């Protein structure tokens, strides 16, 4: 059986994370990881006439650079990707240009772990040999869609997070070298009634806690490092509080991509980073390299997502949260 416990799937065969590629914007390029990214783009439009087209360029370029770097242009069986924009247009338009068989997914900010989990299971099941997982986000396009157009100059709440401008591409394969994906836990929707679109950390934290706890119970693995995706300072604090109350503290080995990517004291990002690109570029530029250098033996990488929409928010709906866990061995 490939299933462990209630929610976790074990990869019997090797699924290598063969390589990664990261592209970020100028603000991300000024943060603590500035020397780790493959490419930093200073202009938020990147020569395009809209932020949405710029985000598409981020995603397409990350995919192309990764494939070219590994000479894999004709060897990819599937592209699995998603983003934040309506009808995942950045991903679909990028797939149109890449001309690779395509599975588009929507997991909001949980998309990086979602694509990697699905890709790992498809490879382990013998359905594919090489899969490309990609996601992206853009501060300007996300603000326009979910909150207020930048031209309106709206005030940002202190609990608000800064959507990362960036894209991460991950190459999964059943051959090669690199860290391997061993266990995948797909989360359940958790919704504790948070309705504030400026407080994503609080909305996603219960889902992160639920998935992390279930993964730890299902696998019994004592991970060297546990990292969630874009909960920021607010959500990270809630997760620590929930585990401490459960007498299962993870605080000493737990961090969050939303607090890693920016210098919270020097950069005005309020509660930290968010967006599909947040966990994607932190994984590719920072966590993956820790695994390669054997600085950590195993990593529990968890991307979190707020599955709301502008329409649902305006109609007074609460914000459902989701989190997916990827257990990786270096």
pLDDT digits (tens, 9 = 90+) for 275-325: 999 999 999 999 999 999 999 999 999 999 999 888 998 899 999 999 999
Lowest mean pLDDT among 186-190, 197-201, 237-241: 197-201
The beta strands (E) that lie in the chain are given as 3-4, 8-10, 16-25, 39-41, 78-82, 102-104, 130-137, 162-163, 166-173, 180-185, 225-229, 254-256, 273-274, 298-306, 321-329
Q: Are 16 and 172 in contact (CB under 8 A)?
A: yes
Nearest to 308, CA basis, from 320, 325, 300: 320
Two structure tokens written together for 327? 């257990």
pLDDT for the residue numbered 156: 64
pLDDT for the residue numbered 158: 60
Cβ neighbors of 153 (< 8 A, separation 6 or more) are none
DSSP 41-58: ES-TTTTSSSHHHHHHHH
Cβ neighbors of 289 (< 8 A, separation 6 or more) are 36
Burial class (CB in 10 A: 0-12, 13-18, 19+), 157: middle
Does the pLDDT value for residue 106 go beyond 90?
yes
Across the chain, mean pLDDT equals: 95
Nearest to 289, CA basis, from 4, 35, 27, 3: 35
d(CA 60, CA 93): 9
Q: Tell me how crowded residue 97 is: count the other CB atoms within 10 A of its CB.
A: 12
pLDDT tens track for 206-253: 999 999 999 999 999 999 999 999 999 999 999 999 999 999 999 999
Residue with tokens 């709206």: 154
pLDDT for the residue numbered 205: 97
With residue 207 as reference, give the H or E element that holds it: helix 200-219
Two structure tokens written together for 118? 């699905």
Question: Percentage of the chain surpassing pLDDT 70?
Answer: 96
pTM value is 0.96
pLDDT tens track for 140-164: 998 887 766 666 556 566 667 889 9
The beta strands (E) that lie in 45-156 are given as 78-82, 102-104, 130-137
pLDDT for the residue numbered 135: 98
Burial class (CB in 10 A: 0-12, 13-18, 19+), 89: middle
d(CA 55, CA 271): 23
List of long-range contacts for 92-95, beta carbons under 8 Å, 24+ apart: 93/56, 93/60, 94/56, 94/59, 94/60, 94/63, 94/134
pLDDT for the residue numbered 296: 97
Nearest to 240, CA basis, from 270, 209, 216, 210: 209
Structural domains of the chain sorted by starting position, each given as residue range(s) with its CATH number in brackets: 3-173 (3.40.47.40), 180-329 (3.40.47.40)
pLDDT for the residue numbered 82: 98
Q: What are phi and psi of 136, to 5 degrees?
A: -155, 165
What DSSP character marks residue 216? H
């Amino acid at each position: 059986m490939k299933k462990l416990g209630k929610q976790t799937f074990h990869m019997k065969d090797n699924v290598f994370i063969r390589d990664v590629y990261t592209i970020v914007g100028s603000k991300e390029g000024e943060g603590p990881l500035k020397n780790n990214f493959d490419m930093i783009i200073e202009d938020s439009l990147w020569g395009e006439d809209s932020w949405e087209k710029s985000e598409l360029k981020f995603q397409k370029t990350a995919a192309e650079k990764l494939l070219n770097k590994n000479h894999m242009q004709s060897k990819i069986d599937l592209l699995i990707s998603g983003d934040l924009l309506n009808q995942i247009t950045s991903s679909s338009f990028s797939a149109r240009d890449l001309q690779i068989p395509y599975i588009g997914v929507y997991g909001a900010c949980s998309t990086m772990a979602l694509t990697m989990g699905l890709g790992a299971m498809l490879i382990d099941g013998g359905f594919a040999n090489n899969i490309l997982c990609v996601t992206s986000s853009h501060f300007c396009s996300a603000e326009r869609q979910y909150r207020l157009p930048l031209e309106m100059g709206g005030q940002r709440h202190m609990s608000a997070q800064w959507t990362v401008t960036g894209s991460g591409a991950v190459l999964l394969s059943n051959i090669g070298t690199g860290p391997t994906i061993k266990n995948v836990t797909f989360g359940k929707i958790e919704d504790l009634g948070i309705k504030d679109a400026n407080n994503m950390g609080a909305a996603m934290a219960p889902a992160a806690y639920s998935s992390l706890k279930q993964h730890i119970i299902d696998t019994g693995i004592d991970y060297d490092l546990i990292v969630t995706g874009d909960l920021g300072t607010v959500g990270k604090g809630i997760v620590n509080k929930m585990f401490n109350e459960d007498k299962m503290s993870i605080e000493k080995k737990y961090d969050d991509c939303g607090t890693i990517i920016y210098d919270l004291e020097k950069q005005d990002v309020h509660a930290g980073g968010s967006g599909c690109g947040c966990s994607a570029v932190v994984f590719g530029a920072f966590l993956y390299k820790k695994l390669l250098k054997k600085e950590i033996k195993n990593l529990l990488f968890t991307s979190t997502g707020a599955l709301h929409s502008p329409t649902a928010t305006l109609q007074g709906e609460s914000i459902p949260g989701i989190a997916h866990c990827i257990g990786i061995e270096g």
